Amino acid sequence: MARVSHSILLSFLIVLAEASYSGVYKYLKDSKVVWIAEFAVAEYNKKVNTTLQFISIINGKRYSISGYINHLLISIKDESNAHPKTYETAVLYTPWEIKGGYKLDSFKLFKSIWI
């Protein structure tokens, strides 16, 4: 009986730990979050042959759905415009499907509905 109880407790703790990684990023300057943003810019630059430069992270969330989706709003500078622009990006993390684990899912200019 104790062995079953320990298994149930362990399963619960694993689920709880997994859930704690979902939600709004509290520390946008965390090295892992910055790495994900820089990865997104580098992948986009390779894909469309451009030279966008990462400036900062404005906001970010992480969703746990069969892996992770890192959804970030990032400030980007390009050579043609002196003013930074905001881009919305999603980076997937599914290490069992993708070599290296990370894949750029979307990268687009952010258009606020409030402006």
Question: Is residue 6 situated within a structural domain?
Answer: no
* Residue 78 neighbours by CB under 8 Å, 6+ apart: 50, 51, 52, 53, 85
Residues 44 and 52: beta-carbon distance below 8 Å: yes
For the chain (length 115 residues), average pLDDT per consecutive 10?
A: 50 43 76 95 97 95 88 93 92 88 95 70
Question: Is residue 8 situated within a structural domain?
Answer: no
Question: Is residue 115 situated within a structural domain?
Answer: no
Q: Which domain holds residue 63?
A: 24-109
pLDDT value for 24: 77
* Residue 60 neighbours by CB under 8 Å, 6+ apart: 24, 25, 28, 33, 37, 70, 71, 72, 73
Question: Is residue 67 situated within a structural domain?
Answer: yes
Question: Is residue 76 situated within a structural domain?
Answer: yes
| Domain count within the chain | 1
Question: Is residue 96 situated within a structural domain?
Answer: yes
Question: Is residue 5 situated within a structural domain?
Answer: no
Strand partners, 64: 68
* Angstrom distance (rounded) from CA 61 to CA 33: 10
Question: Is residue 13 situated within a structural domain?
Answer: no
Give this prediction's pTM: 0.75
pLDDT value for 108: 96
Q: What is the CATH number of the domain that holds 78?
A: 3.10.450.10
**CA-derived radius of gyration, the chain:** 18
pLDDT value for 100: 85
